[in-house]
């Protein structure tokens, strides 16, 4: 006769093999830069595993290219900057929700910088905001929020958005364009800004936080199908993500990496995922990220109004409130408690 322990062991083994106990799969769109640190840390430190999640990251050229697969539920989670495409998708009844902060500017943070070609500064052609008129500025794509940032810079110089020439090329290609003198400036993010400075071809004129404080650079998105049909999974994913972002914040102090084990751990995780040396990661400026996951609604409203003013968004009924859903970060913070910086 089989012992009770043997029977229990057999039952337990079957339970582990049962599909009901299998990890929930989550497909996540990534743009493959340091803004994905919340994903990377949650994976590396077992936070996704603790929530019984199997997360697969797929790199896209931009968040705009995630909209179609998210609209049909092929992609559960997206990430990156808001764009005209996101709001226009809402106008077409494609329900994609902004659910968390991914990256923003903040006091002391130089992650997003207005870069000006060095020879223009050396020659005296460019001295300040008033000299932006007539320059050629690059943006990653049409309809992206960095154009709203550029608009704020133009206003500070006493100019209009139409007083600057725009060209659209991706960030890696912008580095070559600076080298070839094909562009004069850009609202550049890391690690590309540091690369340009190290190459001596462009200068950090100013952090964009000076003229556009707390700019909401990028967000986390949920597909409607993921948010509704897999609500519990979506909540568990957010809890793991927020834990990752909090660990990232613990490695920072006023926009700088702190010296010690916490920063070494996070820069090591970024190094592995971005295929960059840890020394290079430690040498770039980190982005700000809300440790409780909340987005800057005022920044989003400013960008949306800019797109309406330029005519890129024609449906005047579209509002930020229609696409933002903070219920998932609210649930995560309720479970985890408010963020308390590590001592």
Spatial distance between the Cα atoms of 308 and 335, rounded to a whole number of angstroms = 38
Q: How many CB atoms lie within 10 A of CB 6?
A: 10
Written as six digits, the tokens of 242 are: 């927020």
Q: Average pLDDT over the chain, rounded to whole? A: 91
| Of residues 341 and 326, more confidently modeled | 326
pLDDT of residue 341: 87
276 SS3 class: coil
> What pTM value is reported for the model?
0.89
pLDDT for residue 3 is more than 60: no
Q: Which residue ranges make up each domain of the chain?
A: 22-104+215-270+288-336, 112-210
CA 123/CA 64 separation, integer angstroms: 38
- Residues 299-333: pLDDT tens digits? 999 999 999 999 999 988 899 998 999 999 999 99
pLDDT value at residue 14: 45
Strands (E), 197-266: 202-207, 216-223, 252-253, 256-257
- The string of pLDDT tens digits covering residues 88-119 is 887 777 789 999 999 999 999 999 999 999 99
Chain segment 31-81, per-residue pLDDT in tens = 888 999 999 999 999 999 999 999 999 998 778 889 889 988 899 999 988
* CA distances in angstroms from 255 to 144, 234, 267, 279, 289, listed in the order given: 24, 30, 14, 17, 10
pLDDT at 343: 67
Instruction: Assign 20 a pLDDT band (cuts: 50, 70, 90).
Output: low
- Which burial class, exposed, middle or buried, applies to 204 when counting CB atoms under 10 A from its CB (0-12, 13-18, 19+)? middle
Over 50: is that where the pLDDT of 8 sits?
A: no
Q: In this predicted model, what pLDDT tens digit does every residue of 217-265 receive, in sequence order?
A: 999 999 999 999 999 999 999 999 999 999 999 999 989 999 889 999 9
Q: 14 Cβ partners below 8 Å, 6+ apart?
A: none
Q: Which of 178, 160, 164, 175 is nearest to 135 (CA)?
A: 164
Q: Which residues are CB-neighbours of 315 under 8 A, at least 6 positions away? A: 87, 88, 91
What pLDDT is recorded for position 279?
94
Q: Domain 22-104+215-270+288-336: which topology? A: D-Maltodextrin-Binding Protein; domain 2 (3.40.190)
Q: Report the interhelical angle of 231-250 vs 261-274 (nearest 10°).
A: 120
The stretch 262-288 carries a mean pLDDT of: 94
Residue 314 or residue 25, greater confidence = 25
What Å distances lie between residue 276 and 34, 73, 131, 174, 196, CA to CA? 11, 32, 36, 19, 16
Residue 7 has pLDDT above 80, yes or no: no
For residues 270 and 38, give the distance between their C-alpha atoms in angstroms, rounded to a whole number: 10
Grade residue 6 by pLDDT with cuts at 50, 70 and 90: very low
CA–CA separation, 207 and 158 (whole Å): 19
Dump pLDDT digits (tens) for 135-174: 999 998 899 999 999 999 999 999 999 999 999 998 889 9
Q: Does domain 112-210 have CATH number 3.30.479.30?
A: no
Confidence of residue 207 (pLDDT cuts 50, 70, 90): very high
Contact 152, 43 (CB under 8 A): no
Asked, colleague to colleague, whether 22-104+215-270+288-336 and 112-210 share their fold, the answer is yes
């Amino acid at each position: 006769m089989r012992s009770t322990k043997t029977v229990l062991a057999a039952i337990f083994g079957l339970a582990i093999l049962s599909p009901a106990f299998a990890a929930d799969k989550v497909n996540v769109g990534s743009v493959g830069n340091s803004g994905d640190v919340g994903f990377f840390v949650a994976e590396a430190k077992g936070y996704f595993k603790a929530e019984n999640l199997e997360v697969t990251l797929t790199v896209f050229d931009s968040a705009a290219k995630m909209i179609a697969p998210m609209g049909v539920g092929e992609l559960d989670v997206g990430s990156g900057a808001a764009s005209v495409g996101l709001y226009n998708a809402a106008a077409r009844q494609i329900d994609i929700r902004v659910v968390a902060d991914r990256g923003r500017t903040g006091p002391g943070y130089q992650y997003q910088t207005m870069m000006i070609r060095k020879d223009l500064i050396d020659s005296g052609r460019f001295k300040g905001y008033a000299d932006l008129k007539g320059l050629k500025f690059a943006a990653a794509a049409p309809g992206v929020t960095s154009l709203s940032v550029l608009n704020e810079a133009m206003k500070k110089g006493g100019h209009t958005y139409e007083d600057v020439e725009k060209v659209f090329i991706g960030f890696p290609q912008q580095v070559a364009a600076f080298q070839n003198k094909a562009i004069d400036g850009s609202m550049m993010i890391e690690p590309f800004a540091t690369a340009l400075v190290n190459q001596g071809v462009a200068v950090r004129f100013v952090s964009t936080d000076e003229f556009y404080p707390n700019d909401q650079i990028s967000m986390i998105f949920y597909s409607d199908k993921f948010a509704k049909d897999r609500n519990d999974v979506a909540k568990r994913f957010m809890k793991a993500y927020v834990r990752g972002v909090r660990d990232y914040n613990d490695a920072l102090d006023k926009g700088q990496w702190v010296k010690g084990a916490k920063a070494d751990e996070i820069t090591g995780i970024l190094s592995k995922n971005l295929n960059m040396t840890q020394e290079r990661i430690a040498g770039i400026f980190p982005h700000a990220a809300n440790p409780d996951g909340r987005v800057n609604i005022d920044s989003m409203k400013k960008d949306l109004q800019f797109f309406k003013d330029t005519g890129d968004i024609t449906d005047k009924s579209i509002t930020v409130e229609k696409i933002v859903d903070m219920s998932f970060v609210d649930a995560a913070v309720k479970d985890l408690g408010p963020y308390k910086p590590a001592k």
